[in-house]
Structure 1
Amino acid sequence: MRLALQITGFILLPVAALLGYTAAQLPYATVMGPGPGFFPLWLCGLLALLAIIMIAQATFGWSPPLPADFFPERSGYLRIIAAIAGLLGIAAGMSQLGFPITAFVFYLVLLTVFGRRNPIEIVVLAAIGSFGVYYLFTKLLSQPLPPGLFSW
């Protein structure tokens, strides 16, 4: 377990540095308050701090051995692949289909893959997660999301 935690920490450090560098390019503050770079910069700093703590604990502290079920079974790997493929599908389809339809299909697939069996429940949760979030962001928060095929 010690080596796994050290590797994870050493992977997260450059990720935090790269994202922090990108966030530092955004304005940190505006005349109205925190700018678009404020939150991501602090999150990157927190990520770097937690990665350093993880490395220190794994190196100098006691580390239990890996549990027997540390690595997932075959179905776990298939779920991981389905989630990554879904995220890539969202990235590919968002500009053409728009947020509501792309997110709806994404939720339908993931809820089915991750074990929901009631079709009514799947459709209702997918509709709330896609169309509800779209309405919340576009109408209530006035934040644009890609409408795609339909201009809702």
Structure 2
Amino acid sequence: MVIKSPQDFGAGILFILFGAVGLYVGSDLTFGSARNMGPGYFPMIICGLIALIGLIVTVKSLAIEGPAIERIRFRPIIFILLAIAAFGILISEIGAVLSSILLIMFAAYARRDVNPVETVVFAVTTAAFVVIIFVYALGQPMPVWWGR
């Protein structure tokens, strides 16, 4: 057995593992039926589909040539994780608008070729949509600005 596409093989194995873990975790939930769905119905179906997609991708990686696995770049991983953590910590203190802007501004530096003007425009637009969708349309109880 020769792996012709290491990237697809690795992705397929990860999908299978995630699907299997989801199936294991959800195995305690009542499955139900299509007519009377239990709390485990949707998660089990989704996890099964994820594992099936992983199996298909893994088998495909044995038959079709593909790219090799690239070197892991830690800069994007670190900046994205820190941006999400900062958003979660700051949203209750400084509100949805500023924490959304900071999230986008900080996450943008995961790339080396950051355009500051585009990033600011995207951050402000995203913050506006966060407030419109989550606060006003969905009625989520989150502060829009600090102190509220």
Name the TM-score, length of structure 1 as normaliser: 0.64
Residue 85 of structure 2 aligns to which amino acid in structure 1?
L
Alpha-carbon RMSD across the aligned residues, in angstroms, is 3.6
* CA displacement, residues 20-53 of structure 1 (integer Å, 9 cap, x when unaligned): 4556777879xxx988866554432321111011
1:107 Cα offset (Å) = 0.6
For the structure 1 residues 117 and 65, does the alpha-carbon distance in structure 2 shift closer, same or farther, using more than 3 Å as the test?
Answer: closer
Flag structure 1 segments of 5+ consecutive residues without an equivalent. Answer: none
When structure 1 is superposed on structure 2, of 93-102 and 45-54 the one drifting more is 93-102
Asked if structure 1 preserves the Cα contact closer than 8 Å seen for 2:6 and 2:66, the reply is no
Paired residue for 1:146?
142
Using a 3 Å threshold, how does the CA distance of structure 1 residues 149 and 37 change in structure 2: closer, same or farther?
farther
Question: Corresponding residue for 2:12?
Answer: 9
2:70 corresponds to? 71
Q: Is the 8 A contact 2:31 2:40 kept in 1?
A: yes
Q: Matches of 2:147 and 2:38 in 1, distance apart? A: 32
Question: For this pair of structures, how many residues does the alignment match?
Answer: 140
- Over 3 Å counting, the alpha-carbon distance change for 1:25 and 1:92 in structure 2 is farther
Taking structure 1 as reference, are residues 95 and 65 closer, same or farther at Cα in structure 2, changes over 3 Å only? same
Q: Quick one: which of 111, 115, 118 aligns to 1:117? A: 115
The normalised TM-score by structure 2 is 0.65
Deviation at 1:108, TM superposition (A): 1.4
Which one of 48, 51, 54 corresponds to residue 51 of structure 1? Answer: 54
The residue type equivalent to 1:146 in the other structure is M
Q: Which runs of 5+ in 2 are unaligned?
A: none
Identity within the alignment, %: 20
Structure with more relative contact order (C-alpha pairs < 8 Å, separation 6 or more): 2
Are residues 46 and 94 of structure 1, via their aligned partners in 2, closer, same or farther at CA, if it must alter by over 3 Å? Answer: farther
The letter of the residue matching 1:11 is L
